[in-house]
């Protein structure tokens, strides 16, 4: 092969490679990615019917009435659940009340472990993230827990849950803790809104449980009202556990 022929061959080779490369790029690149994706923090299961719905659970303050023994039916499922476990979450410890990062993260992680311990599955990742930029209410597949001001008075906290319209898979939750209330450890100071108490209730929403408002169920963790000084929602009652285990197993 002469120099000229070699040069021509080389140019043809480059052209051929270029054409095959560009031809392969015409194949939709996202099909495999869709089928193979799991649904941890930033890569949800994205089906062809990728269409999210959102529900907000708003937790109001209300003085407690007399505690009633709760029946086993005192739980309500949202009809959506996580299909990829464990659920990862991040805590934004920023708050205007001077609560320490460690007091916030230990209260919230204790809440997560309370649900975790009621099912054999690893429901929440034991190691959470700390992210001072994490925001409530932004649909970004980051499960964010943050303090902030909520416009309506009397609202203690809000948990938003996003799920797929088709398949009913939860893909994200965000939790807002309203800074209208003074937060802390109500076991030490009953004038405070107990962080672990409220976080346990709100995390119940994040895994697929709805509020219960019947006064005959007012001792369960998923009862829809709380007040300062309350710590009874730190632990789960049998109906809360029954609801959880219907979704994730015993």
Residues near Zn ion (CB under 5 A) are: 57, 59, 211
Q: How far is the CB of 104 from Zn ion (least distance, A)?
A: 20
* Cβ(206)–Cβ(161) below 8 Å: yes
Residue nearer to Zn ion on the CB measure, 186 or 203: 203
Q: How far is the CB of 75 from Zn ion (least distance, A)?
A: 12
Q: How far is CA 221 from the centre of its chain?
A: 17
Residue nearer to Zn ion on the CB measure, 44 or 81: 81
Q: How far is the CB of 78 from Zn ion (least distance, A)?
A: 11
Joined together, the tokens standing for residue 179 give: 């800074």
Residue nearer to Zn ion on the CB measure, 59 or 234: 59
Joined together, the tokens standing for residue 85 give: 């476990």
Residue nearer to Zn ion on the CB measure, 57 or 163: 57
| Helical packing angle, 101-116 and 195-206, nearest 10° | 50
Q: How far is the CB of 61 from Zn ion (least distance, A)?
A: 12
Residue nearer to Zn ion on the CB measure, 91 or 222: 222
- C-alpha dihedral sign at 203, 205, 210, 214: positive
CA–CA dist 224, 201 (Å, integer): 9
Q: How far is the CB of 19 from Zn ion (least distance, A)?
A: 59
| Residue 157, H or E segment | strand 155-164
Q: What are phi and psi of 121, to 5 degrees?
A: -75, 155
């Amino acid at each position: 092969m002469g120099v000229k022929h070699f040069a021509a061959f080389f140019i043809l080779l480059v052209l051929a490679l270029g054409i095959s490369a560009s031809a392969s790029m015409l194949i939709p690149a996202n099909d495999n990615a869709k089928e193979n994706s799991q649904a941890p923090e930033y890569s949800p299961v994205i089906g062809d019917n990728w269409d999210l719905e959102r529900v907000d659970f708003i937790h109001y303050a209300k003085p407690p009435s007399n505690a009633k023994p709760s029946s086993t039916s005192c739980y309500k499922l949202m009809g959506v659940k996580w299909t990829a476990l464990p659920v990862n979450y991040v805590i934004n410890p920023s708050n205007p009340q001077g609560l320490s990062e460690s007091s916030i993260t230990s209260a919230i992680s204790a809440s997560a472990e309370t649900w975790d311990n009621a099912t054999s599955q690893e429901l929440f990742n034991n190691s959470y993230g700390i992210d001072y930029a994490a925001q409530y209410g932004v649909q970004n597949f980051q499960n964010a827990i943050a303090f902030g001001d909520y416009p309506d008075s009397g609202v203690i906290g809000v948990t938003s849950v996003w799920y797929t319209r088709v398949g009913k898979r939860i893909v994200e939750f965000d939790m807002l803790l309203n800074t209208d209330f003074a937060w802390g450890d109500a076991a030490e100071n009953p004038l405070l809104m107990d962080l672990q108490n409220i976080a346990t209730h709100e995390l119940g929403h994040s895994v697929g449980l709805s509020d219960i408002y019947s006064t005959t169920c007012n001792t369960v963790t998923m009862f829809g009202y709380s007040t300062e000084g309350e710590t009874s929602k730190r632990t789960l009652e049998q109906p809360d556990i029954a609801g959880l285990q219907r979704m994730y197993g015993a």
